[in-house]
């Protein structure tokens, strides 16, 4: 991999010219900066001398973590010991020439290093600092340790993933670090907003953004808080269905696959009933509106499941696609990687990684006119410290 100067970034990318320092480990902060880097920001990932601990997670090729190919893509990697005087000096030197910084240490850790917001604003008053933690920078739980699972648990999500009426098995996690990823997205959004404000005001000081795992998950709880406040309602696990729309559920197929069907508008419901050979149900007054269908959803679900059980997932999906009924098989990663829509839109692309060889990458989750998805993956996750000499030339030593 050739070392790329930030000046070589395609100006078509909207954040080209924005320099962001990442003091991130594991998931939340690195996910935030991955989004910013995909958008063209110059992200300088500061790792400890032994590298980000996530480099030791999951599968590897000759000691190089496969996940890091995506986790660290489009970033420049430098290694610093932030406990040492030289490491602190170099970080301050870097902060003086940067627009923003993202970190996910436990609250107070940067201050103990002498690198808290007050210290960094001494060298760059306009620096935007996004801080991601488990519970936030204040409050009674501030100093408690947390990982992504804790965000799911306390934010209200894990309660909802249980199977209704089942108590012998714990509610499952969603399978990815959703609270870290959410916090990373919110941090990236807040950082861009703060940078916009600072850019527009020559007298502005850099803002400090406080994002935490728990509140990031809690923000997804839709109308549940006002419902509790007004009526004392506590939403309970609902499995694959929801109480406010019908029929919307996941149904078993003859080949062991599951088919998700969302037939909850009146017009779509009628098309669904015709497609599964139940035209009388389409005209049944008990199912005339969504509210009535919710009251009689058990009968509807039994009717749909009886039909899906007689067909493979692909067969049932094709029939409902032809009837313009929203549906999808539950995809595993093989399905995603091989799906023609994913491939046509470059949602799945093969890139060359100098550390791994040809490897599949997911596209950035946004599109811009004039920029192809492949343009947004400029390079894959580099080796730890690959850009030390680029970012810290010897003549600039503190």
DSSP state of 223: T
**pLDDT value at residue 9:** 52
* Alpha-carbon 197 to chain mean position: 25
**pLDDT value at residue 331:** 97
**pLDDT value at residue 3:** 42
Coil/strand/helix, residue 210:
strand
Task: Please name the helix (run of DSSP H) or strand (run of DSSP E) that holds residue 134, with its range, or none.
Answer: none
The stretches in the chain having pLDDT less than 70 are: 1-11, 395, 397-398
**pLDDT value at residue 168:** 79
- Whether the Cβ atoms of residue 209 and residue 131 lie closer than 8 Å to each other: yes
Task: Please name the helix (run of DSSP H) or strand (run of DSSP E) that holds residue 92, with its range, or none.
Answer: helix 85-96
**How many other CB atoms sit within 10 Å of the CB of residue 300?**
23
134 closest CA partner among 191, 57, 215, 221 = 215
Helix 178-200 crosses helix 148-155 at what angle (to 10 degrees)? 90
**pLDDT value at residue 6:** 45
In whole angstroms, give the CA distance from residue 357 to residue 167: 46
In whole angstroms, give the CA distance from residue 248 to residue 289: 14
The predicted-structure confidence for 293-318, as pLDDT tens digits, reads as follows 999 999 999 999 999 999 999 999 99
In whole angstroms, give the CA distance from residue 48 to residue 294: 55
**How many other CB atoms sit within 10 Å of the CB of residue 145?**
9
Question: What would the DSSP string read from start to end of 328-382?
Answer: EE---HHHHHH-HHHHHTTSEEEEEETTTEEEEEEPPS--BTTB-GGGG--SPPP
Residue 99 has which token pair? 């627009």
Q: Are strands 248-252 and 348-353 parallel, antiparallel or unpaired?
A: unpaired
**pLDDT value at residue 4:** 45
**pLDDT value at residue 166:** 73
In whole angstroms, give the CA distance from residue 48 to residue 28: 17
For the chain, give the number of residues.
398
DSSP state of 322: H
Full-model pTM? 0.93
369 contact partners, CB below 8 Å, separation of at least 6: none
How much of the chain exceeds pLDDT 70, in percent?
96
CA 30 → CA 33, 71, 256, distances in Å?
5, 7, 37
**pLDDT value at residue 395:** 64
In whole angstroms, give the CA distance from residue 104 to residue 146: 11
Residue 165 has which token pair? 């009426």
**pLDDT value at residue 238:** 87
Q: Catalytic residue numbers?
A: 180
In whole angstroms, give the CA distance from residue 398 to residue 396: 6
């Amino acid at each position: 991999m050739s070392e790329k100067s930030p000046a070589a970034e395609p100006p078509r990318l909207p954040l080209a010219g924005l320099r962001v320092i990442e003091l991130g480990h594991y998931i939340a902060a690195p996910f935030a900066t991955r989004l910013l880097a995909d958008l063209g920001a110059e992200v300088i990932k500061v790792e400890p001398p032994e590298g980000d601990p996530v480099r030791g997670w999951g599968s590897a090729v000759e000691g190089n973590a496969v996940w890091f190919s995506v986790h660290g893509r489009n970033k420049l990697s430098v290694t610093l010991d932030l406990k040492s005087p030289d490491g602190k000096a170099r970080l301050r030197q870097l902060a003086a020439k940067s627009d923003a910084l993202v970190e996910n240490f436990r609250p107070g850790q940067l201050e103990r290093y002498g690198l808290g917001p007050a210290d960094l604003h001494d060298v760059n008053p306009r620096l935007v600092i996004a801080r991601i933690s488990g519970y936030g920078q204040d409050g009674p739980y501030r100093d408690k340790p947390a990982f992504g699972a804790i965000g799911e648990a306390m934010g209200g999500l894990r309660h909802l993933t249980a199977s209704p009426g089942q108590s012998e098995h714990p509610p499952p996690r969603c399978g990815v670090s959703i609270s870290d990823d959410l916090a990373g997205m919110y941090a990236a959004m807040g950082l861009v907003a703060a940078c916009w404000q600072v850019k527009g005001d020559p007298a502005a000081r850099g803002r400090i953004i406080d994002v935490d795992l728990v509140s990031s998950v809690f923000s997804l709880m839709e109308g549940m808080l006002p419902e509790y406040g007004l009526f004392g309602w506590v939403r309970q696990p609902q499995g694959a269905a929801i109480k406010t729309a019908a029929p919307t559920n996941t149904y078993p197929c003859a080949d062991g696959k599951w088919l998700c069907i969302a037939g909850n508008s009146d017009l779509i419901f009628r098309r669904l009933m015709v497609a599964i050979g139940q035209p009388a149900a389409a005209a049944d007054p008990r199912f005339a509106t969504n509210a009535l269908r919710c009251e009689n959803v058990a009968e509807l679900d039994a009717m749909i499941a009886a039909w899906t059980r007689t067909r493979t997932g692909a067969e049932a999906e094709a029939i409902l696609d032809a009837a313009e009924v929203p549906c999808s098989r539950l995809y595993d990663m093989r399905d995603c990687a091989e799906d023609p829509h994913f491939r046509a839109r470059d949602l799945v692309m093969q890139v060359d990684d100098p550390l791994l060889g040809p490897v599949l990458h997911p596209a950035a989750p946004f599109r811009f006119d004039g920029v192809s998805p492949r343009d947004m993956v400029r390079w894959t996750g580099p080796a730890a410290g690959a850009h030390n000499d680029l970012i810290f030339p010897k003549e600039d030593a503190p």
